[in-house]
């Protein structure tokens, strides 16, 4: 998960607090010593309690899958072994404060794209058929209209115009909307057991759910 460190006019410096809330990291900010929880980006104790840092789009994916799309990326060179986690162990969570919704990765891979609405925002949650470790959350509002997408031959295809977009980055490649790029929205991974801890009113997508 990636959060913006700026709160109002101040750029915060964070450190790892050490304790876990649920299975998630907590941080402390150097200016006030307030404690923050990672999944919601909210200060849970201290002078800043109740404040929230903005969540930014990011991905839990393989280095190879990321590097293929972003070849100029640089990474911190540290000794580390392979991750013990697999993406199929997680939910992909979309949290718009007013509503949180989670999508099981195995189900997403099976259907390719989920057209949904979260907190009145039309979204598409996408698994890239070219590499199952790549996924993204996009806005379905394109050219001033809300679109419905299908996964066809590895591309996102708008049902109304037949226009196609890359599954990994939402870039238009063919059709009436070929000059458009889908807006990427913030989404992140969470363990299924942690979802009710942090989002007790959240829901988990199931096939056949009404939008």
63-77 pLDDT tens trace: 787 888 788 888 777
Count of C-beta atoms within a 10 Å radius of residue 152 = 13
Measured distance CA(120)–CA(116) in Å, rounded = 9
Measured distance CA(103)–CA(202) in Å, rounded = 11
**CA distances from residue 39 to 43, 118, 140, 194 in whole angstroms, order as listed:** 11, 18, 24, 10
Measured distance CA(174)–CA(24) in Å, rounded = 42
- Cβ atoms of residues 107 and 205 within 8 Å: yes
106-145 pLDDT tens trace: 999 999 999 999 999 999 999 999 888 889 999 999 989 9
The residue assigned the tokens 């070849």 is 71
Confidence band, pLDDT 50/70/90 cuts, at residue 6: confident
Indicate the pTM of the whole model: 0.80
Least confident segment among 29-38, 98-107, 146-155, 198-207 = 29-38
- Cβ atoms of residues 167 and 126 within 8 Å: yes
Measured distance CA(25)–CA(149) in Å, rounded = 35
Q: Which of 60-64, 86-90, 163-167 has the highest mean pLDDT?
A: 163-167
β-strands 24-29, 55-56: how paired? unpaired
């Amino acid at each position: 998960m990636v959060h913006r460190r700026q709160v109002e006019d101040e750029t915060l410096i964070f450190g790892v607090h050490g304790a876990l809330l649920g299975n998630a990291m907590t941080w402390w900010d150097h200016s006030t010593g307030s404690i923050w929880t990672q999944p919601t980006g909210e200060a849970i104790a201290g002078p800043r309690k109740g404040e929230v840092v903005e969540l930014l789009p990011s991905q839990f994916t393989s280095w190879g899958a990321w590097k293929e799309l972003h070849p100029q990326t640089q990474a911190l060179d540290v000794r580390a072994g392979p991750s013990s986690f697999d993406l199929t162990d997680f939910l992909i969570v979309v949290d718009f404060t007013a509503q949180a919704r989670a999508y099981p990765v195995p189900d997403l891979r099976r259907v390719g794209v989920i057209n949904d609405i979260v907190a009145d925002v039309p979204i598409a949650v996408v698994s890239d058929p070219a590499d199952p470790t790549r996924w993204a959350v996009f806005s379905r509002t394109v050219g001033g209209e809300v679109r419905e997408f299908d996964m066809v031959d590895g591309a996102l295809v708008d049902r109304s115009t037949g226009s196609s977009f890359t599954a990994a980055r939402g870039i238009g490649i063919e059709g009436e909307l070929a000059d458009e790029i889908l807006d990427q929205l913030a989404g992140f991974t969470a363990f299924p057991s942690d979802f009710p801890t942090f989002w007790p009113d959240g829901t988990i997508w199931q096939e056949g759910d009404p939008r």
